[in-house]
Amino acid sequence: MLKKSQNGFAVIETILIAVIVILVAFVAWYAFHIKNSTNNTLDKAANTQISPPQNNSKNSKSSASINQPAPVLVVKTNPTLGDYLADINGKALYTYNQDSANTSKCNSSCLAVWPAFKVTSSSASLPANVGTITRSDGTIQYTYKKMPLYYYTGDTAAGQVTGDGVNGFSVAKP
């Protein structure tokens, strides 16, 4: 027979009740934590688009009647690297530490591994911090905060960031 403590419960019963209370508290904490993590991911919208600033003047036409270009960049999130820039298809973009403002030092063999993020259609207006440079071969390359942007051939699918830290290249940060 179990020996009762002063409050009427056996020691084993007291331990079991404590374990059950701890398990219930852990399950509640875990459920709350997972719910908040999911909401934070959805709130960031993983595809935050960087598009041109809106003209809010009283004389401007409604945004539906203004011919605005499609977004050029999106912001993606990697659990290790945090937020980074990608093209509208989700492919990561990189900057090169040898480049300077509006000047690309990545040419010939460098471009074979790190292709320039080139302009494919003309656009009268670009989002804030997005610009272009004309490369020596005459192609036009996008820049972010005046730094030329590149792809990495080692990234074979959207969401990959395998080029970060390789040969002086880093994922482009918003």
Whether residue 110 lies inside any domain: the answer is yes
Whether residue 66 lies inside any domain: the answer is no
Whether residue 53 lies inside any domain: the answer is no
Question: Nearest Cα to 117, choosing from 155, 154, 87, 85?
Answer: 87
**Residue-level pLDDT, tens digit, the chain, 174 residues:** 455 556 666 778 888 888 888 888 887 777 776 655 443 433 344 445 554 444 444 444 433 434 555 678 999 999 999 999 999 999 999 999 999 999 999 998 999 999 999 988 766 678 888 999 999 889 999 999 999 999 999 999 999 999 999 999 999 999
Looking at the structure, tell me whether residues 100 and 156 fall in a common domain.
Answer: yes
Whether residue 68 lies inside any domain: the answer is no
